Amino acid sequence: MSPTIKRATRSDAAGGTGSAADFLPPRITLPTLRRAAAGCRGCHLWRVGTQTVFGQGARSATLMFVGEQPGDQEDLAGLPFVGPSGRLLDSAMERAGLDRGKAYVTNAVKHFKWVADPRGKRRIHKTPNSAEIRACNPWLDAELAVVKPRVIVALGATAAKALFGKTFRVTAQRGRPVRTEHAEAGFATVHPSAVLRAPSDLRAEAERLFVNDLKKVARWMETHAG
């Protein structure tokens, strides 16, 4: 990109309430989406994160995981779920008998939202708000339209809200199939970072429940062979 002065966009002026819809490519495939998303300025977060972290996986994936937003390591690598949460997700999938190689992994919001740690250089994750989730939703919708997964799994409340609506409660509905227009079935479970943050005496149980939810997804897919 040329080093010219950044022009204020509508979303900048409105404090982050634009939309990724203005950046969708005319022809929608994973490569065209990825390229277009790299230049997205649909909300103010393009200035906050280092780069757009688009979803990863094959168009033929039958299972789609949706997280919240890239974390610190994802922001730097440009790939979803490559940090601590991603490692836990990998290991939980393996224990549940789900193949990450056959899954598409993405996030509800494609830029890392963070604030500086007042005591140091660390970047502290900040949960995206509903305007940011809404602004970024066209990318997720387009990924769903191209991949057409059989099953989508929301990881945590942000993803569950983006996929299943504002009133969805992960704690009440985790591990059970949910009706959704986006796939044959939806599921929700906690975010892997919630497992990582659990107090040490509850950590093992939180992890067991997380793996258990993924086992239910695996079982659903086996018993509803499509």
Q: Which residues of the chain form contacts with ligand URA (CB under 6 A)?
A: 67-71, 74, 80-81, 83, 85-86, 107, 193
Give the C-alpha separation, 76 to 94, whole Å. Answer: 25
Residue 171 CB, shortest distance to ligand SF4, in Å, is: 26
Listed in order, strand segments (DSSP E) in 126-190 are: 151-155, 185-189
Residue closer to ligand URA (CB basis): 42 or 70? 70
Decide: 33 and 136 in contact? Cβ < 8 Å. Answer: no
Residue 56 CB, shortest distance to ligand SF4, in Å, is: 15
Decide: 77 and 142 in contact? Cβ < 8 Å. Answer: no
Residue closer to ligand URA (CB basis): 41 or 110? 110
Residue 42's binding partner among ligand URA, ligand SF4, none (Cβ under 5 to 8 angstroms by kind) is: ligand SF4
Decide: 149 and 61 in contact? Cβ < 8 Å. Answer: yes
Residue 74's binding partner among ligand SF4, ligand URA, none (Cβ under 5 to 8 angstroms by kind) is: ligand URA
Give the C-alpha separation, 92 to 164, whole Å. Answer: 23
Residue 112 CB, shortest distance to ligand SF4, in Å, is: 9
Say if strands 123-125 and 114-116 run parallel, antiparallel, or are unpaired: antiparallel
Helix, coil or strand: residue 32: helix
Please list every residue from 21 through 80 that binds ligand SF4, using CB under 6 A. 37, 40-43, 45-46, 52
Residue 107's binding partner among ligand URA, ligand SF4, none (Cβ under 5 to 8 angstroms by kind) is: ligand URA
User: 130 phi and psi, to 5 degrees?
Assistant: -70, -30
Residue closer to ligand SF4 (CB basis): 40 or 98? 40
Please list every residue from 127 through 156 that binds ligand SF4, using CB under 6 A. 135-136, 139
Number of residues that bind ligand SF4 (CB under 6 A): 15
Place of tokens 């509508």: 10
